[in-house]
């Protein structure tokens, strides 16, 4: 039974100048690279398959299997694209990873590219994180100078070039085919699949797109073996992951643990809820994953456990809200976000999210009637599953789940003619004036 917390990716974040090549090499960094080069690329894919690593960007698709889909008989160049567009509300793990230890990502990029036989890789970082872009640019530059990138890496005969690409502000580009559009210099609008990117991705060539944390997990798997990785986690959700706690807990932050840890344990490690308040609702994996409540404190946070509770593990973005928070306000704000970020390609999403905001805004102000709740649910039903990508599916999640668990609170807005909550009580500084 592994320890409660298992720092692997976060293990060096506290090191002096952890982001530098010197610090990373000092603790054995780039050692997994030689181990990988001593293996056949297919054997590297097999190792990652055997480890059970599932995509850390939200969907949980087996990473090794995704790599295996790259048709090696296709004469076109193959590409690896790292999805570093971390934008899902609540998700804040890849950004600190790239800030503290960009070389973990770069080493992962080299091994993963070698495995799928790509000679060019792209790291697509959202543009709104300047210092992270700097750190990754510098890490790539250092890796070139040290001979970890470029021609004939470590004398292996393998060549790889890496381009760091900054996005320009679009949540939708976290969706892999929209990201490819952005990387091709177009509006970030998702593509219809099939064909899947593995067959026709970047420049219509075979392409693997993986989340930062997935790729960053690869060096440790190669270095320590698939059995080591699989000894952590649960039956079908192997390994470790970064759990990001935010909101009304005493010590929000990053907690790296085997998959399957519970929110009860995590909140306990975080020092509990704020003084004098109780957990009201939370997202297990970002705002696109249906809300859960205090009833769900003991479900295992793995793909199966959260799925069985009616939500999704997503990105392990645990946004914690206490009893001072109005769930209608929270839901309206997320809905406004989805409306703003809808790329406009599919009508149910473009028009639907706009209508959801109209109905929810009225409810939040205490206008309308209880039948509007059914109208909302009906709208959600007409939006879910009817667009190219999952953005609109995500948009309905907070609405349907909040009505499921907090219908009375919606009704209270109507009976009281407005929001019964005082937003000042939810703030980070609430109560501090009194204590001071």
Partner 1 sequence: MTLSEETLVELKEIAARYPEPRSGLLPMLHLVQSVEGRITPEGIEACAEILGITAADVSGVATFYTMYKRRPVGDYHVGVCTNTLCAVMGGDAIFERLQDHLGVGNDETTDDAPGLRSITLEHVECNAACDYAPVMMANWEFMDNMTPESAVQLVDDLRAGNEVRSTRGPRIVTWREAERVLAGFPDDLADDGPAAGPASLVGLGIARERGWTAPHPETDSGSGRTADTKQEAVEQADTARAETETKQEDSDA
Does 146 sit near partner 1 (CB under 8 A)? Answer: no
Q: What angle do CA 371, 374, 379 make, to 5 degrees?
A: 130
> Using CA of residue 93, residue 95, residue 99, residue 105, what is the dihedral sign?
positive
Six token digits for residue 155: 């004398």
Does 162 sit near partner 1 (CB under 8 A)? Answer: no
Does 390 sit near partner 1 (CB under 8 A)? Answer: yes
**Burial, 7: exposed, middle or buried (Cβ in 10 Å; 0-12, 13-18, 19+)?**
middle
Instruction: Map tokens 């609540």 to a residue.
Output: 90
Does 13 sit near partner 1 (CB under 8 A)? Answer: yes
Six token digits for residue 80: 């690896």
In the stretch 347-376, what mask flags binding to partner 1 with x, by CB under 8 A?
------------------------------
Six token digits for residue 58: 């939200």
Does 14 sit near partner 1 (CB under 8 A)? Answer: yes
Contact predicate 287/337, CB 8 Å: yes
Closest distance of CB 369 from partner 1, Å? 25
Does 164 sit near partner 1 (CB under 8 A)? Answer: yes
Positions in 219-278 near partner 1 (CB under 8 A): 223-233, 235-240, 243-247, 251-257, 269-270
36-44, 104-112, 128-136, 359-367 -> range binding partner 1 (CB under 8 A) = 128-136
Positions in 98-117 near partner 1 (CB under 8 A): 99-101
Identified binder of partner 1 from the candidate list 27, 151, 193, 407, rule CB under 8 A: 193
Summarize the chain as % helix, strand, coil (round to 5): 45, 15, 40
d(CA 86, CA 133): 13
Closest distance of CB 209 from partner 1, Å? 13
Closest distance of CB 181 from partner 1, Å? 10
Strand partners, 122: 81, 163
Residue placing its CB nearer to partner 1 in the complex, 168 or 407: 168
Does 26 sit near partner 1 (CB under 8 A)? Answer: no
What distances in angstroms separate CA 299 from CA 3, 303, 309, one per listed residue?
18, 11, 8
Positions in 309-328 near partner 1 (CB under 8 A): 312-314, 317, 319, 321, 325
Residue placing its CB nearer to partner 1 in the complex, 155 or 275: 275
Residue placing its CB nearer to partner 1 in the complex, 260 or 369: 260
d(CA 57, CA 93): 10
């Amino acid at each position: 039974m592994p320890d409660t917390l298992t720092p692997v990716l976060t293990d060096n974040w506290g090191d002096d100048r952890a982001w530098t090549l010197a610090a990373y090499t000092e603790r054995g960094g780039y050692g997994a690279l030689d181990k990988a080069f001593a293996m056949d690329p297919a054997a590297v894919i097999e190792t990652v398959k055997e480890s059970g690593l599932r995509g850390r960007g939200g969907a949980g698709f087996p990473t090794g299997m995704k790599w295996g889909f790259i048709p090696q008989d296709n004469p076109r160049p193959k590409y690896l694209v790292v999805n570093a567009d971390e934008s899902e509300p609540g998700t804040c793990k890849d950004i600190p990873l790239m800030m503290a230890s960009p070389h973990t990502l770069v080493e992962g990029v080299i091994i993963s590219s070698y495995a799928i036989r790509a000679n060019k890789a792209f790291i697509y970082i959202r543009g709104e994180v300047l210092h992270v872009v700097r750190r990754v640019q510098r890490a790539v530059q250092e890796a070139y100078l040290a001979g970890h990138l470029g021609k004939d890496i470590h004398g292996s005969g393998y060549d790889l070039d890496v381009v760091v690409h900054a996005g320009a502000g679009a949540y939708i580009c976290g969706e892999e085919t929209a990201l490819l559009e952005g990387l091709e210099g177009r509006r970030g609008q998702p593509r219809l699949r099939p064909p899947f990117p593995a067959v026709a991705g970047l420049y219509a060539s075979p392409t693997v797109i993986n989340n930062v944390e997935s790729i960053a997990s690869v060096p440790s798997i190669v270095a320590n073996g698939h059995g080591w990785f699989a000894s952590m986690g649960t039956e079908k959700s192997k390994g470790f992951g970064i759990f990001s706690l935010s909101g009304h807990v005493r010590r929000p932050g990053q907690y790296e643990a085997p998959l399957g840890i519970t929110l009860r344990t995590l909140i306990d490690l975080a020092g509990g809820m704020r003084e004098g308040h109780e957990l009201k609702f939370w997202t297990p994996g970002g705002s696109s994953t249906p809300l859960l409540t205090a009833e769900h404190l003991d479900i295992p946070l793995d793909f199966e456990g959260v799925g069985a509770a009616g939500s999704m593990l997503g990105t392990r973005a645990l946004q914690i809200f206490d009893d001072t928070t109005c769930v209608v306000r929270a839901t309206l704000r997320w809905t406004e976000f989805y409306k703003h970020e809808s790329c406009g390609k599919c009508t149910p999403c473009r028009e639907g999210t706009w209508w959801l905001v109209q109905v929810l805004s009225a409810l939040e102000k205490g206008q309308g009637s209880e039948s509007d709740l059914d109208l909302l649910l009906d709208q959600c039903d007409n939006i879910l599953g009817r667009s190219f990508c999952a953005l609109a599916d995500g948009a309905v999640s907070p609405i349907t789940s909040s009505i499921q668990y907090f219908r009375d609170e919606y009704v209270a807005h109507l009976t009281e003619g407005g929001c019964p909550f005082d937003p000042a009580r939810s703030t980070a500084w609430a109560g501090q004036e009194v204590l001071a």
